[in-house]
Structure 1
Amino acid sequence: MTEISSADEVRRLFDEQGYLADEGTATAVFLTLRLGLPLLLEGEPGVGKTAAAQVLARVLDAPLVRLQCYEGLTANEALYDWNHQRQLLAIRLAEAQHERLTEADLFSEEFLIERPILRCIRHTGPRAPVLLIDEVDRADDEFEALLLEALGEGSVTVPELGTFTAARPPIVVLTSNRSRDLHDALRRRCLYHWLEYPEPERVVAILRRSAPSATAALIESAAQFVGHVRNQEVDKPPGIAEAINWVAALSALGATELVREVVVPTLGALAKTPDDRDVVIDSLTTYAFG
């Protein structure tokens, strides 16, 4: 694993991967690596939470294992499951050969399916994997209890086989859009960092990296306009991801400067609901282009 000695080095390595991390994010990542604690990243959608974990895996040259959370997520989908089809085939084969299978035969490692968390716990490669538990706030409250053993002890218990403990604990990054409050027990096991929407100067720098074909004037005007949209009464304020997509759309249409004629047709990259689109269009009557 790449040995990272400081938060400044995190910023440099992330910068080489095209991710402009601020001081707070770089410090949180460094402390996660140094202390071996999970990192909980919260913030509005589109500010770079998921991308931070992806870049971290690339920087460390480590496998990235992603668990996308959603309502109704269960242990069978997050921790482990059994290959019921293979178990059934084994039973039929045993019957055909007049053999008898015991429960231990059917619930052995041969039939175990590793889901993301167990896969990371049992990982035997040269580098610890980065486990991304994405949008944990989308999962049910009960799912958080499933995480506590894995996060607190670095282990997963399979009743039929025993407890698996990581020889090299994974680097865990959880993300949350804060659609609901997470339990205190989960928060206490994590380092915490809130990702703010970046200041205008850093937005410009990010857009220059992400859309090198766009003109400087277009990028600066687009960054200002995205800030304008975020200040409107919109349900879903655009994040960095939307800003990047919008500038890419403007550039693809050959725009070199920001004018109303190119803003309206490309609003689908910024406004994600009909109401938000109407709010932004109404705001154009008083917005000073150029």
Structure 2
Amino acid sequence: MDAEIFKDILLAYGKAVGFLTTTIPGLTIGGLALAGLFLFSVWQAARNRSLACAAAGQKLKAGESVAIVGQEIYRLLVGAFAALPALIAVVAIAGTLYAVSDSLARFDELRLNAERISQLTAVVRNLEKRQKVIDVHVASTANGQVSLQLEFFDPSQGDQAVGRQDLTLPGATIYFDALVCNFDYAEIAAGRRVNLAIPYRVFSDQVAQANGIALNLRDAEGVPYMYARSETDVYGIAPEAYHERLRELLQIMDDERSARLTGIVRSVYGSAVHRRVVPGERFSIWIEQSGGLVIKTPRDF
């Protein structure tokens, strides 16, 4: 038999045994099966006795029915005791097979989890870079309302903007809010940690953070433009695996509880940069390699 087929059989056996011995539905099924076998045995014995009585022209008495139940219980107990050595051997073999199956399942789980962590780590490495994510043009500040024209960038598309958004909100100081995920870099490179940030809303000195305007800087699949990578830019992981794990990573970052359970995420928190704006000015929002947001003006280059 092929080793892989034998392994699959063992794993299926282990799941079945685990279900029957460790879950309420499994224990219920097992108990009902044993009760059914006992009732069938009693019914068969009572039927045979009833047929014998009928052949002798007699009727089965109520007391005899009770005696039949007692006899069947006694017979089953004696049979179980007589077969005890064989039962012990069967249980021992079954237990050994279950232990082997459980060990194989745990090994597979550890291997797959290690592979998953390794791929997530490679994704984080690919995202750990300094880049421009938003160009901001302050179109107007008239009547206490700030009008902004935003352009979003995808590093795989060079300096060509891939998305635009116009928004207006009251105030004079504008805040760009970001979700920051702090990765425990012990899983990635000894002694280091990495922060990844995703800008996701704008608020002001007159608009509360919770009431800010969402930024439309994700593509149709929910991936931030700034995290797009061409196949030639991806390293340390196959491009197909990169995109698959990137989506998983984003789900992790969007759910703090799940993020902490992964084993590579230390914390998830919010961080904002701000600027008092004047009409006509232009500036850019950059993500630093450390994961922080910074505001840069043309004179900073």
TM range (shorter): under 0.3
Report the TM-score when normalising by structure 2. Answer: 0.22
TM (normalized to structure 1)? Answer: 0.23
Q: Is the strand fraction higher in 1 or 2?
A: 2
Higher relative contact order (CA 8 A, sep 6+): 1
Larger Rg: 2
